[in-house]
Structure 1
Amino acid sequence: MISPKSLLTAAIIASLVAIGPLSTDMYLPAFPMLMQSFDADINQVQNTLSIFLIGFALAQLIYGPLSDRFGRKPVLMGGLLLFALSSLAIVFTDSISTLSALRLLQAIGGSAGPVLGRAMVRDIYGPTESARLLSYISTAMAVAPAAAPIIGGYLLVWFGWHSIFLFLAVYGAIGLLLLGIRIPETAPPGSHHVMSVSSLLKNYGILLKHPTWRWYTLTCSFVFAGLFSFLSGSSFIIIEFLGYKEEQFGLFFALVVIGFMLGTQIAGRLVRRIGINRLLGYGSLIAATGGISMLILALAEVHHVAAVVVPHMVYMVGVGIVMPQSMAGALAPFPHMAGAASALLGFIQMSFAAGVGVLVGHYHDGSPLTMSFSIALMGTLTLISFRRLQRINRQNEDDDQDGEEEPASAA
């Protein structure tokens, strides 16, 4: 075993956190080929992505309590084993329905990586130092969604779509091996406890009734759904409609990720200076601007890759600003149940995005119009949600001021 605070431990945990973007983004260039291989329509192929996201969302609600009861390491090892086996099984599947079912299992297993990886960082470094390390891991993980379509595109061209899932199976197996022989249990001794279903449901009920939590969560969910709209439709637009090659798709996707990285850097530099909510407003406006610009270009029938990639780069700058701020705002009032708040936020965010992705696939007409409309709508709803959140925060501030003034007037 190695030291929990070693650089190698951090690198292994970072690689486990990367399972999510690798599993969603690596096979995006294969969408058109999957349609041909399985004689499936676009909606069926796109559903394999939405189903993955649903499984990923559901698993978040159970991994936290399981790891609190049995420890991080055994639960994470079980998840990685399921991920590796289901990824390997996909290599041998011969129907789109079987692929969808296996993608669900793959998601349930793979969700353990990011969920418990972050929990392990919290166990090792504590509340203050863990924030610093998680920021480094998040920056490093921005490389994963940029690199995944490029790797997937070349694997697709050289070896076929099966090789993408074989790569993921090997990736999961290596992660399982390294975790088993190199990293000790990180949960503090004596910390294992059982949380009842009723107490979990009670906490979730408290969160859903809290107005600021709801609107922070909706803001985060809307902006993420716009990103997922791009994930659902971009490969068909760039590869089939615009005629670019599979390996080129990954390069265009990397440009989009650069927009996200720029947004996170802007947020990191400005949040202390101007505050979460003001920064959230700027990010919402940027996302809406990017989405509406793409829709205008689609309506004008400007059929060029720049008309898709450049507006979405702008949108992704907004995503990079909005998502961290909305998550932080949602969790801030609930230090005593941050795990439940984070899990429910993630579940709502991913479930909503999966539903939007299904609609993008269902209404896709071969042109960029459906995808552009969805991204523009999600950007606009992000801005509307922020405005609503702003009114609630102002109302809360006025109530606090009234409460402070009442004793003085009574005297």
Structure 2
Amino acid sequence: MSVPSAAIGPQQAPPVPVPVPPGLAILVLALLLSIQPVTTDLYLPALPALTRSLNAPVAAGQLTLSALLLAFGCSQLAWGPLSDRFGRRPVLLTGLAMYTLAAVGAALAPSMAVLIAWRTAQGVAMGAVVMCARAIVRDLYTPLAGARAMSKALTGLGFVACLCAPLGGLLTEWFNWRAALLALTGYAMGTLALVALRMPETLHQRNPHALRPAMLAGTAAQILGTPAFWAFSLLTTASYGGLFTFLAASSFVYLDVLGISRTQYGLALLSTAVAYLLGTLLCRRLLARQGLKRTVAIAGALSASGGLLMLLAAALGWHSVAALLPPFYLYMVGHGIHQPCGQSGAVGPFPQAAGMASALNGFMMMLAGFAIGQWLGGALDGSVWPLVQGVALWSLLLAAIAWTLVQRHAPQEVAHAR
């Protein structure tokens, strides 16, 4: 298939400078990327309560999460080309405005069906926000610098995630589950105001052909035909798969099976966010000293160790938070390395189509999340095993990808000690 001359190919061209102060860029990226854990982590302590309050089965409660993620992933396939055609800023503003409206609707939902509909709308809007954030990284940075910038932004995400679960637990304890969902509105409005007032357009040259069918098909084929894209996208998908298994199952396992309180559960999620935060900090040090490939390989060892130790603890009959949570910290440290490296690596070869590459990468992650949510809806059986086995499976798959595909297809980079 022939495509217009503006079609992309794997490139390492440096981005054209855009007048965005470095501190502002990292702050905005952190807030935009954080909308995903804010949307999930803050309401997880309320998930069992809202399921009971709306007289719905567990599978329907899981659908409030899996439907959101499916909409999040699918919508990026549309938002990506739109941002390449019209720019990041109008897509961001539209997405944040839509998200604010949907957050209010979800908090006021009178039934589970209405709540699922508003959560799906939130997922569509969230797709615009996160996709643009990843594309902005490619607009402003070269691939290796993008991984470092992404790790800084994800450090900010880690700080936000540390607050979300405890806050969600406290809001649910003090008020009810609707208060936890309503808190999302304030976050979206604040981020919308910052982007509207301070963040300029980062896309140097819009692609007027980005929405043409021939261009869409040609661009997608070019991206999907690039081995480096697959290596890094599979890395991020497997890493997110393990995290999502934990997020979707842990509220039922920890609260209903292991019998801890919502506040204690919020603190447990806080501790995993701290481990993730440490991973993003470690990522920057490793990238500077070891380079991209060795950094990902080290993270693969952390991931596999966490999953296998959790499986071992469960096999030995140690079914308690004290036994099952610490191994997951190792997984989360690895996750804090895999995500900045993987997300930057997936879009790095495509400076002229970062929106489409980001969308395809995000779609893969959320498709995995939806499938996991559907599986867990029927697999949660009043034991710890669905949680433990799911995390162990993803951890081994993640390590295999980090040690094989990434080592084979990652670009050659020179590490500079700092």
Q: Note whether the superposition's TM-score is higher than 0.5.
A: yes
TM-fit CA distance, 1:119: 4.6
Q: What's the TM-score once normalised by structure 1's chain length?
A: 0.85
- Using a 3 Å threshold, how does the CA distance of structure 1 residues 349 and 8 change in structure 2: closer, same or farther? closer
Q: Which residue of 1 aligns with 2:124?
A: 108
For residue 315 of structure 1, the aligned residue among 318, 321, 331 is 331
Residue 192 of structure 1 and its aligned partner are, at CA, apart by 6.0
In 2, distance between residues paired with 1:391 and 1:69? 34
**1:332 & 1:6 partners in 2: Cα distance?**
19
Change (3 A) 1:15 1:266: closer
CA distance in 1, matches of 2:152, 2:105: 34
Deviation at 1:185, TM superposition (A): 4.3
Unaligned regions of 5+ residues in structure 2, if any? 1-18, 413-418
TM-score if structure 2 supplies the norm length?
0.84
1:375 aligns with 2:369: no
Structure 1: gaps of 5 or more residues: 398-411
C-alpha contact 1:83 1:105 (8 A) present in aligned 2: yes
- Please tell me whether residue 359 in structure 1 is matched to residue 375 in structure 2: yes
- Per the alignment, residue 36 of structure 1 pairs with 52
| AA at the equivalent of 2:50 | L
CA distance change for structure 1 residues 275 and 71 in 2, over 3 Å: closer, same or farther?
Answer: closer
**1:58 aligns to 2:74 (yes or no):** yes
Q: Provide the aligned length of Structure 1 versus Structure 2.
A: 392
SS at 2:396 equivalent: helix
RCO greater where, 1 or 2, for CA within 8 Å and sep 6 or more? Answer: 2
**Cα displacement (A) at 1:189:** 7.6
1:60 match: secondary structure: helix
Q: Which moved more, 1:99-108 or 1:64-73?
A: 64-73
Q: Say what the alpha-carbon RMSD is for the aligned residues.
A: 2.9
Q: Which residue of the partner structure matches residue 279 of structure 1?
A: 295
Counterpart pick for 1:261 among 277, 288, 294: 277
The offset of 1:157, in angstroms, is: 0.8
Q: Percent identity?
A: 33
1:78 aligned partner: 94
Where do residues 8-407 of structure 1 align in structure 2 (5 Å cutoff)?
A: 11=27, 14-119=30-135, 127=142, 134-180=150-196, 182-183=197-198, 185-187=200-202, 191=206, 193-195=208-210, 196-389=212-405, 392=408
* Bigger-Rg structure (1/2): 1
Q: Distance in 2 between matches of 1:101 and 1:250?
A: 26
Which of 170-179 and 264-273 deviates more? 170-179
Q: Cα–Cα, structure 1 residues 19 and 325, in superposed 2: closer, same or farther, change >3 Å?
A: closer
More helix as a share of residues:
1
Residue aligning to 1:404: none
Cα distance change of structure 1 residues 171 and 273 upon mapping to structure 2, 3 Å threshold: closer
Equivalent residues of 2:303, 2:335 under 8 A apart: yes
Deviation, structure 1 residue 153: 0.7
Q: Is the 8 A contact 1:299 1:369 kept in 2?
A: no
Q: State the match for 1:409 in structure 2.
A: none
In 2, distance between residues paired with 1:345 and 1:13?
A: 17
